Amino acid sequence: MDKIAVIGLGYVGLPLAHAFSSRYPVVGFDIARWRIEELRNGYDRTLELSDEQVAEALANGMTFTDDLEVIRDCNIYIVTVPTPIDKHKSPDLTPLVKASESIGKVLSPGDIVIYESTVFPGCTEEVCVPILEKVSGLSYLSESTTPTPSTQHPTPTEEANGFFCGYSPERINPGDKEHTVTKILKVTSGSTPEIALKIDELYVSVITAGTHLAPSIKVAEAAKVIENAQRDINIAFVNELALIFDKLGIDTHDVLAAAGTKWNFLPFKPGLVGGHCIGVDPYYLTYKAKEVGYHPEVILAGRRINDNMGIHVANKVVKLMIHKGHTIKGAKVLMLGITFKENCPDIRNSRVIDVIRELQDFGCEVDVHDPWADPEEVKQEYHLDLIQNSKFNTQHYDAIVLAVAHEEFKKIPLQASDETVIFDIKGMLDPSIPDARL
């Protein structure tokens, strides 16, 4: 039986490892010792798995480790590490490179390495494969390495000295308890026709929603990166509409509600675009486009609009406070939410920070409350101290900004005075409550 090692136990890797543990021996590997200890103790801080589900995985025989030697006897390695961008908004492949180096140290002939991390088209074979070859001393076996057109897969001699690769892009939606990993159709691919079928069958065995076998690794990579680029562009369009309608004195949500009565109108809403996918993935595609001599116009225009929405919100809040007679320097602002999306503890690449920093630049004193976010992570990532429920009263603030649509915020009584500015970024409140919505 195949033995699977999942490399990276974050929002993507852990649910995937849990799914595979119902059918296969699975080892979850992560370089973070504290993460391994938490999981061994039955707790997942991402909340993607409940305590019961972690216990279920452990009962199935799944183990967690930060020791490479423990995964040496695996024959399938699935890489689910982050692929962020750097300060220049170029791909930061450091986690992917280090994961490939680690796997190369334990790779054996005939093994399969499957990448799930979002990358630009060509990354697996242009960046990761050479690292695996160099560290392992083995050869990469692909369709192009077959010796004759009639040979559909490597000979036993070749396989004894080589390894295979595949790419199956992750489609995890953090915090979504309905569209979980097994219920989302999976794109698969492999370096040879035979291995592509094997990889597809592997995922079919646990993905109840089914699979789509792509014709090549590069096609699968491209499919993933355009999924989020498409969403980014659509959100950028409605964000631009929000900017226009703000100047026209029209409520964007009212316009979208009216336009949405047409059967084929797409239901996108304005907002802050952050997180580890939509706010990042388009830069992987534009990076590769520039590398091959094409300057992308639409994708980058959408990114510029979305990246500047936090500044727009902060400026709008300040103007509203001025209109109500507030002195901006020293004004107290309550920010409700810091995670990148609702009902989820994930703070990675949250664009709420853009609103906070801009307000602070104006001289405002900003308090942040988020019942989902881990205070230590927020402190480490953004140098902010979260306030707890018992430590704030909405009446004490000059402005309140609803930044994230957590369910808990529906229960907070906004007992604000007439002078308090209420800005609803998410369009979550009754239209009669906020002074403005995005």
Residues that are catalytic: 277
Q: What contacts 115, CB < 8 A, 6 or more positions away?
A: 78, 79, 96, 124, 128, 165, 166, 167, 168
Residue 131 tokens read as: 């690292």
Amino acid at 20: F
CA–CA distance, 230 with 326 (Å, rounded to integer): 41
Residue 133 tokens read as: 């070859």
Cα 318 from chain centroid (whole Å):
31
Polymer length of the chain: 438
Cα 253 from chain centroid (whole Å):
26
Q: What contacts 139, CB < 8 A, 6 or more positions away?
A: 133, 145, 158, 161, 162, 163
User: With 0-12 CB in 10 A as exposed, 13-18 as middle and 19+ as buried, what is 96?
Assistant: buried
3-class SS of residue 153: coil
For the range 409-413, what are the long-range contacts, defined as Cβ-Cβ under 8 Å and sequence gap of 24 or more? Answer: 409/336, 409/337, 412/336
CA–CA distance, 31 with 41 (Å, rounded to integer): 17
| Longest Cα separation, the chain | 81
Amino acid at 269: K
In this structure, are residues 50 and 56 in contact, taking their beta carbons and an 8 Å threshold? no
Cα 180 from chain centroid (whole Å):
14
Q: Where are the beta strands (DSSP E) in 145-273?
A: 162-167, 186-188, 211-213
Residue 432 tokens read as: 């009669």
3-class SS of residue 188: strand
Stretch (H or E) spanning 427: none
Amino acid at 196: A
Amino acid at 308: N
- Among 338, 331, 334, smallest CA distance to 354 is for 338
Judging by DSSP bridges, how do beta strands 421-424 and 399-402 pair with one another? parallel
